[in-house]
Structures are given as C-alpha cells and as structure tokens.
Amino acid sequence: MTIHGALIAGTGSCVPERQLTNFDLEKMVDTSNDWIVQRTGIHERRIASAGESSASLAIIAAQRALATANTSPAEIDLIICATITPDMPTPSNACLIQQALGCRRGIGAMDLNAACSGFVYALVTATNFIKTGSAKTVLVVGAETLSRITDYTDRSTCILFGDGAGAAVLKQTTDRSVGVQAFELGSDGTGSMLLHVPAGGSRQPATAESVGAKLHTLKMSGREVFKFAVAQMSESIQKAINACGLTSDQIKLVIPHQSNARIIDSAATKIGLTADRMFVNIHRYGNTSAASVAIALDEAIRAGRCGPGDWVVIIGIGGGLTWATVTVKL
Ligand code: COA
C-alpha cells in the first residue's frame, strides 16, 4: 500500500458578530472584569444570534477554507465535523454542511465528539484516511455554539465559553514530509463527570423538570479540570516535539486549546517556549471547545505567524477527559 502525505491546503473560520464582554457579564452575575481577566485572560467572547447555529457558522468557515485551498465542494471526499453542540442530535452537522456546500451525493459525512480535543481528533482521522488512500480531499471542521448549553446564572462557567467555527481542507500529496507527522490521542474516562451536561441524552432525557433545573447546561469542576489541563498540556507538547526528533527551538508556533491563559502560560514556562511562540486569542473568543484550535490555526496562518515549511504543534484538551496533539509540517 502506498502511504501518501496529507497537506493542510487551506483554513477558514467564522465567529458571530455579537460580542459578550466581561462588563456585560458584570451585569448578569456576581463577577468583575478584573477577576475574569486575571483568572482566565478572557476579555470578551462571541455569541450566536437567534438565526445562527453551529452548522451555519461551520458552513461559512468551510467556504472560507475551500476558497483559501482553491478547492471546489465537488472535490471533497469526506467531511468530519467536531462538535458537542450539533444543530440537532441527528442529522449530523456534517450532513448539513454536505448539503449546504453542494458536495457530491454519496461522500462520507460524520460528526465527532471529543469535546475540546475534537478538532485535533478530526485532523488525525482525516490524515489517516488520506495517508491510506481512502480519501483525497477531506474537509475538517470544529464548530460550537456553547452559549446554547451555558447557564448564564452560573458565574463559574458562563465567563468562559463562546461560539465560533474553524475549518481546514486536507489534500493528498505525494510529499510525505508535509502535514501531520506525529500524533497522540488520549482519554481518561475516570474524569468524565468533571465536565459534563447531565440531561438531554439517553441517560436522563429532557423533561420540563430537567430543563427547569438547567440540567441541559455545562457543569464543570473548574479546579480539577484546571489541574489536569496544566499537567497534560506541557506533557503532551513535549511528547509532540520529541516524537519528530525536534527540539523546542525548531517549533515555529504552538497552537494550544484556548481554555485559560494561565494554562497556556504555565505550559510555555515548563517547556521553555517564549510567549511569542504560543498562539493566544482567548482574550477575544474565550473557550470555543472544538472550534478553539481550528479558529486559532486559521488566524495564526492569516497573521503570518506560521506558514509553509514551519513546524507547528496543535493541542486540544478537554471534556471526556480527552487530549490530542499533532506535530505538523505546514
Ligand atoms: N467571578 C468572581 N469570583 C468567582 C468566579 C467569577 N466568575 N468564579 C468563581 N469565583 C470564586 C469562587 O467562588 C471562589 O471563591 P471562594 O474562594 O470564596 O470559594 C474563588 O473565586 C476561586 O475559585 P476557583 O474555582 O478556585 O478559581 P480558579 O482560580 O480555579 O479559576 C476557573 C476558576 C474556572 C477560571 C479555572 O478553574 C479554570 O480555568 N478551570 C479550567 C477550565 C477549563 O479549562 N475548562 C474547559 C476544559 S478544557
């Protein structure tokens, strides 16, 4: 079997217009701009309007990625959409994207749930389809409307989350030295209740009571998740660097999951990476789960922070618990 390369040929992203600032949140719960900035690094986040959904944001992000990759929807062989907030439990967001883009009938389309690690899990899945020759062009999307499952009376969670989508087009190439060169997928279900939505699934179907008690919103043990993320992020980045026999000096940019600026700073310090080599946009978007590193990758490339030939480490960490890392040569 011939093993191919899988190039990230183009990226795109889309965030809602509407901003929710820390000052807006001060009027909604007992919090302050200073507390949120100091503890998280977040200044504002984007919130979907009534007409928007995770699929509608995903479709625009995908169109932008296709334009950048100079690729037509007809070329797509497979769509993978990472999300924990699909428009509906079924059909998948991926099918809604397939229809909206006008892709060929019969291509593969599926959603993937690995919470905040979802986009990196999807990148790895897409890469392996391409490497083995099962697909030539794959559209990978991370899309969330976390505002739809956030309790805006709970100050410990509502300050963190936002909405948005990012996408990447992966294309088969004969050059195996580009694209994902190493990856790690991880999980630890013993921490599954540290970040969860109690109701609305098959264990506790939605009822008037469950909705009244806000059991369809995210519940998080912030301190425990924080400790896990701090330890996991530095360990995974270091492993990703070692996996390709690189030193940290050779990494042009790390694109970490944007959940808390303190988690990112602590990982950078442990690994000895200067702040300019960690991409950060959490101040503008908060934590957008599966969309987080997808948006960050697109913004980093468009800002010229990384480009063809550069080594980049992308890392997702989140609910499940899950983590996922790729070492990519762009
Ligand atoms: N405004 C003001 N005070 C707040 C607050 C808010 N929005 N949220 C919590 N507090 C209070 C707490 O009630 C607590 O008060 P107490 O000491 O009187 O009990 C105090 O601030 C400290 O709370 P704690 O939870 O220990 O704060 P923290 O430093 O751990 O920061 C998070 C809280 C949520 C910012 C932090 O734990 C975090 O980022 N966790 C990980 C989040 C994450 O990554 N989630 C997604 C998975 S990737």
pLDDT value for 318:
96
Q: Is the beta carbon of 152 within 6 A of some atom in ligand 1?
A: no
Q: What phi and psi values does residue 261 have, to the nearest 5 degrees?
A: -60, -30
How far, in Å, from the CA of 223 to the mean position of ligand 1?
A: 7
- Cis peptide bond upstream of 91, omega within 30: yes
**Mean pLDDT of successive 10-residue stretches along the chain, which has 330 residues:** 91 98 98 98 98 98 98 98 98 98 98 98 98 96 98 98 98 94 97 98 97 97 95 95 94 97 94 93 98 98 97 97 97
pLDDT of residue 212: 96
Q: Which residues of 160-170 are buried (b: 16+ CB within 10 A; e: fewer)?
A: bbbbbbbbbbb
Confirm whether 260 is a catalytic residue: no
Report which residue type is found at 246.
L
| Strand (E) or helix (H) holding 23 | helix 22-26
Is residue 33 annotated as part of the catalytic site, yes or no? no
Write the Ramachandran bin of 116: left for phi over 0, alpha for psi from -120 to 50, otherwise beta: alpha
**Which of ligand 1's atoms lies nearest the C-alpha of 29?**
7
**150 CB less than 6 Å from ligand 1?**
no
Confidence at residue 224, expressed as pLDDT on a 0 to 100 scale: 96
**HSE value, Cβ hemisphere, 13 Å, CA-based, for 61:** 35
Query: Is there a contact between 175 and 329 (Cβ–Cβ < 8 Å)?
Result: no
Our answer on whether the CB atom of 226 is closer than 6 Å to any ligand 1 atom is yes
Instruction: Look at residue 2 in the predicted model and tell me its pLDDT.
Output: 83
Query: Is ligand 1 within 6 A of the CB of residue 233?
Result: no
pLDDT at 45: 98
Nearest CA to ligand 1 atom 26: 223
Q: Which of 116, 158, 260, 306 is catalytic?
A: 116
**Ligand 1 atom with minimal separation from the 287 CA:** 46
**Contact between residue 259 and residue 292 where contact means Cβ atoms under 8 Å apart:** yes
Domains of the chain: 5-177 (3.40.47.10), 180-329 (3.40.47.10)
Q: How far is the CA of 191 from the centre of ligand 1 (A)?
A: 18
Tell me if 223 CB under 6 Å of ligand 1. Answer: yes
CB atoms within 10 A of CB 231: 15
Provide the pLDDT for residue 3: 85
